[in-house]
Amino acid sequence: MYEQAWHKQAISDLHFLVTGGAGFIGSHLVEYLVQHQAGQVTILDNLATGYRENIADFLKAPQVRWQEGDIRRLDECRQACQGVDIVLHQAALGSVPRSVQDPLTSNEVNVSGFLHILSAAREAGVKRVVYAASSSTYGDSQSLPKVEDKIGKPLSPYAVSKYVNELYAEVFAKIYEMEIIGLRYFNVFGPRQSPKGPYAAVIPLFIEAIQQGKSPTIHGDGEQTRDFTFVANAVQANIKAALVQEPKALNQVYNVAVGKRTSLNQLWHLLNADEANLLPVHYGPARPGDVRDSLADIGKARQWLDYHPGTDIEEGLKITKAWFKFRPINAFPG
């Protein structure tokens, strides 16, 4: 999927650490780095929500090192950061409802774990940390499109944890003179996104419903909107953030999205465009902590990271649906 190179500089002399590398987005970063001959790639993951199957092919590459470990353990973060030039930090417990259910564990992983990675990166003299931030940081702000410096109050423990990451990143960059870039992902989707468990994201759940010929349940009236972002766009943003040289681009947070919003009702129709029958949708109660509308202004990433999302939602959905045909939902372990 990553024939196109988004970097101009050589990466064969760089050692990357991808935390959460067995997860959905992390495994795509690993795929890109392996495909483009990065010098070394270390993967740190405790397999809480990731799968070895996601990276089985890439583990065969001689420059890839696998470390099963937990970012809640500082010693394991220190071990993973040894000799690393660039950290791409993806490990976290995602999902707003999960954090509503269990805020303590979300905080331990997303906040303490993040702090461990920053500390271990600093001790090891890592050149740069790029980390997964989140559009949930916009919270109750009503303004659309979302612009990086205008956020509201968080609506969930998950949103708090991701915002705290940004605060720590800013402080570490200042007091320890580190290079840190946050990427606020907006509803990333694509192959390998897990459809399993109560906290699965909407696109794999909709694809599962189509595969099984069942009507999906939408929380709320389905008119809530999201800026759905194909995973290759998120990979592009990470690689460009990892390698950008312009000093003004550093120690910033960036929206990573497409700049187009789609309602869940529209999404269901798009996914069914090539199906003979369109099943009706069930509507359930809205979920606490969910935001109503989400749409990114991606001008800042475009300007400073040269980020240009190459795949729109329609094309991304086609690629994703085709991939799930070869790996049916019920083939996901766990």
Least CB distance from residue 184 to ligand NAD, whole Å? 7
Least CB distance from residue 38 to ligand NAD, whole Å? 19
From the list 51, 131, 138, 158, the catalytic residue is 158
Q: Which of 11, 14, 17, 25 binds ligand NAD (CB under 6 A)?
A: 25
**Residue 138 found at the interface with ligand NAD (CB under 6 A):** no
**Residue 1 found at the interface with ligand NAD (CB under 6 A):** no
168 is catalytic: no
Binding mask 79-118 vs ligand NAD (x if CB under 6 A, - otherwise)?
-----------xxxxx--------------x---x-----
**Residue 30 found at the interface with ligand NAD (CB under 6 A):** no
* CB-count exposure of residue 266 (10 Å: 0-12, 13-18, 19+): middle
Closest to ligand NAD by CB, 15 or 28: 28
Closest to ligand NAD by CB, 104 or 175: 104
- CA–CA separation, 269 and 33 (whole Å): 35
Least CB distance from residue 24 to ligand NAD, whole Å? 3
Residues in contact with ligand NAD by the rule CB under 6 A: 20, 22-26, 45-50, 70-72, 90-94, 109, 113, 132, 134, 185, 187-188, 194
Catalytic positions, please? 158
